[in-house]
Amino acid sequence: MAESVERLQQRVQELERELAQERNRRVPGSGEGGGGRVRIDKMSSEVVDSNPYSRLMALKRMGIVSDYEKIRTFAVAIVGVGGVGSVTAEMLTRCGIGKLLLFDYDKVELANMNRLFFQPHQAGLSKVQAAEHTLRNINPDVLFEVHNYNITTVENFQHFMDRISNGGLEEGKPVDLVLSCVDNFEARMTINTACNELGQTWMESGVSENAVSGHIQLIIPGESACFACAPPLVVAANIDEKTLKREGVCAASLPTTMGVVAGILVQNVLKFLLNFGTVSFYLGYNAMQDFFPTMSMKPNPQCDDRNCRKQQEEYKKKVAALPKQEVMQEEEEIIHEDNEWGIELVSEVSEEELKNSSGPVPDLPEGITVAYTIPKKQEDSVTEVTVEDSGESLEDLMAKMKNM
Amino acid sequence: MAESVERLQQRVQELERELAQERNRRVPGSGEGGGGRVRIDKMSSEVVDSNPYSRLMALKRMGIVSDYEKIRTFAVAIVGVGGVGSVTAEMLTRCGIGKLLLFDYDKVELANMNRLFFQPHQAGLSKVQAAEHTLRNINPDVLFEVHNYNITTVENFQHFMDRISNGGLEEGKPVDLVLSCVDNFEARMTINTACNELGQTWMESGVSENAVSGHIQLIIPGESACFACAPPLVVAANIDEKTLKREGVCAASLPTTMGVVAGILVQNVLKFLLNFGTVSFYLGYNAMQDFFPTMSMKPNPQCDDRNCRKQQEEYKKKVAALPKQEVMQEEEEIIHEDNEWGIELVSEVSEEELKNSSGPVPDLPEGITVAYTIPKKQEDSVTEVTVEDSGESLEDLMAKMKNM
């Protein structure tokens, strides 16, 4: 068995080399559709039709971004290359991000054609492979690393953790940001587990199953609520929750909602990485009412995830070590964030409704409700769960954790 | 371990397929466009991977839209196929709209590659031609009619008016909606002139030159303010206006802002055509602060455009002819629209600032300012301007109108 693995690894290396050679052999201006563009060593501000970066570099002249070229130094991992993830990847590619790591295990289907990005002729290809091909063609300056697997199995989880820790622009350095563009609870919890353990900042995104609401969320381990700290939130769309979640029923989706969510997600990424504007901790989108609530949540000191609690301790120490003025500024900023525009919202969530969901429930602005009800704990003791050497799938572990 | 072997085997297969594709690509005649899908006569709700409409038809089961198939009966004209217009066209195409009419006179350039949709190999092609090719490939069920010309010349304006009046799904019937996705004042005024004359409902969209704010606006001639009724609005981004508008300076743009504006535009189109949710009269997007103001504006009885004034008279008659209860309902609805979420906004626009711009200035919520200052009139008399047989370009007429 060991030999077989070694041989296969050798074959993968061989094929990767061949593929790289084949791609290099392609003469610019030939190949698919007359073949893309040549690589560009340095981003230029020159205003000519042939410069793909002129409109981005203009952000400096407009006083929005002080150092746009810095975008090339960042590596971003995107988990889930579906309706939101594919558009997210395309936006970052067109912005000239340094490196993208894509994770997905799905295939392109005609049933995906109601969302942007994939095209009918790609049906049957793996999503990461099809995406890499299109994106490389759009911007050959971006480095791509794609993984066609499910991150929630134990083995893949280890590999995923390894790539988050070492897959940065310079091999051995961590990525700068992880973006969750997945469509299920388990995958989100897996990303949450990994990022809490690594202290890795990430952003979560989601679209409701009725296709008319979505959200993005920034999670800085120890500083803001993690995915396990509180039930994930959705923007209520004045629709009976029972019609939303039915097992085995095909979810609805719209290219509009997916496009808006990808847009506000990547905008938040750009603001975070390039240091401009206000980075949102939570931004919701209710398409029925054109309502966009913002808020921020503190982490839960009793969070189920021991690494989240550990990160909270470390964050507290970090804040305590800061000079007093900086701490005050930070707190002021958070208040500012919460109520940037002096918007007054009257909560319509009843006390009873809040009691029915377990765990700490934040004061929810009107129009936001919890997306999942987390099962009540049966005992109070907190058991530490580790994934190493357990031989169990993360799915099994997750099920255990839920029933604790 | 067993999983590891499986994954490696999968990766080998994947690489082999990629390599084969890469080699095939060098053969002339292969590559993009080699695929697509067959036409579909009737939208089906069947949940199978091969059904490109399953996730849209699910909107019915989710209780969002009562008759999704109706989308096939609508024709939409898009003026401007750039950063916003191209994505708008792609979204409507993927939603399965009946017919799209595209108007643009620009060519694809590498300098456009920082926005979604166009790809480097399309550089040099006309935008409408390149867009039609891609869109037809994505969804062959949609009818396309493209016009590679500038709508603001007198001759093209007449042809444009004719296609709006007769280019519906059934030839001889008007289109259902006109979408303005242009990037300049003159083209917007031209669309406004045409739609006021025809009583054609349209939606306007725009993105600021610093790339970090945008808006959409619904204009129902006679019912809501037209483009000439009041200075167009932009969402203030806390940036000195002087840095925004400089002649000959390359404007900045971002795929994120363009994607969000296209997304909220097409969402509004879907809500308008398929009758669900609240259709917004004005929705702004301030990317720096993640602020999305909404408002509505009544038309100006002293509007410069005589056709706007005519439409206002007709609308008044229509409302007067309604039974009393319906009128009240309508007014209630508008109030509801204005302050859907009980959001209280304190205006920061000073009285002096308002006086400095001519014409009726609506009560602007915080964060919204006027985009252009319309020159003050030199005389009070309103001269009626017609474009027929004048031999002048619309540009000349517009200049005259401005100085009236």
Could you report the per-residue pLDDT of A69-86, keeping only the tens digit for each? 999 999 999 999 999 999
The rounded distance, in Å, linking the Cα atoms of A226 and A315 is: 13
Residue contact A267–B257, C-beta within 8 A: yes
Question: Which architecture does CATH list for A73-319?
Answer: 3-Layer(aba) Sandwich (3.40)
ipTM, two decimals: 0.78
The rounded distance, in Å, linking the Cα atoms of B107 and B109 is: 6
Decide which of A315 and A398 is more confident: A315
Tokens matching residue B61: 């089961």
Supply the pLDDT for residue B289.
95
Decide which of B258 and B402 is more confident: B258
Q: Exposure string (b/e) for A176-195, b if CB count within 10 Å is 16 or more?
A: bbbbbbbbebebbbbbbbbb
Stretch A199-219: mean pLDDT: 95
Stretch B21-37: mean pLDDT: 50
Identity of the highest mean pLDDT range in A42-56, A151-165, A343-357: A151-165
Residue contact A119–B35, C-beta within 8 A: yes
Stretch A19-25: mean pLDDT: 61
Q: pLDDT band for position A291 (50/70/90)?
A: very high
Question: Of B47, B113, B290, which is closest to A138 when you measure between CB atoms?
Answer: B113
The pTM of the whole model exceeds 0.90: no
Supply the pLDDT for residue A21.
61
Burial of B340 (0-12, 13-18, 19+ CB in 10 A): middle
Q: Is A217 helix (H, G, I), strand (E, B) or coil?
A: strand
Stretch B217-242: mean pLDDT: 74
pLDDT at B17 over 90: no
Mean confidence (pLDDT) of chain A: 80
Identity of the highest mean pLDDT range in A244-253, A324-333, B365-374: A244-253
% pLDDT > 70, chain B: 71
Residues 6+ apart with CB under 8 A from B404: B304, B377, B378, B379, B382, B383
φ, ψ dihedrals at B161, nearest 5°: -55, -40
pLDDT at A110 over 80: yes
Residue contact B292–A292, C-beta within 8 A: yes
State the residue for tokens 């042939």.
A50
Supply the pLDDT for residue A8.
82
User: Regarding beta strands A177-180 and A75-79, do their DSSP bridges make them parallel or antiparallel, or are they unpaired?
Assistant: parallel
Tokens matching residue A213: 């609401």
- Pick from A25, A45, A51, A55 the residue to mutate for testing the B interface (most B CBs within 10 Å): A55
pLDDT at B390 over 80: no
Question: Of B16, B37, B212, which is closest to A15 when you measure between CB atoms?
Answer: B16
Q: Which residues of chain A have a CB within 8 Å of the CB of B114?
A: 52-53, 55-56, 94-96
How many C-beta neighbours within 10 Å does residue B246 have?
12
The rounded distance, in Å, linking the Cα atoms of A126 and A105 is: 7
Stretch A191-217: mean pLDDT: 96
The rounded distance, in Å, linking the Cα atoms of B19 and B12 is: 10
Catalytic residue numbers of A, as ranges: 250
Q: pLDDT band for position B64 (50/70/90)?
A: very high
User: Among the options B95, B226, B229, B250, which is catalytic?
Assistant: B250
The rounded distance, in Å, linking the Cα atoms of B343 and A218 is: 25
pLDDT in tens, B304-363: 999 999 999 999 999 999 887 655 554 444 333 333 333 333 333 333 433 443 344 445
Q: pLDDT band for position B1 (50/70/90)?
A: low
Residue contact A251–B25, C-beta within 8 A: no
φ, ψ dihedrals at B213, nearest 5°: -150, 160
Residue contact B59–A266, C-beta within 8 A: no
Q: pLDDT band for position B399 (50/70/90)?
A: very low
The rounded distance, in Å, linking the Cα atoms of A229 and A118 is: 35
Q: pLDDT band for position A177 (50/70/90)?
A: very high
Residue type for B205, please?
S
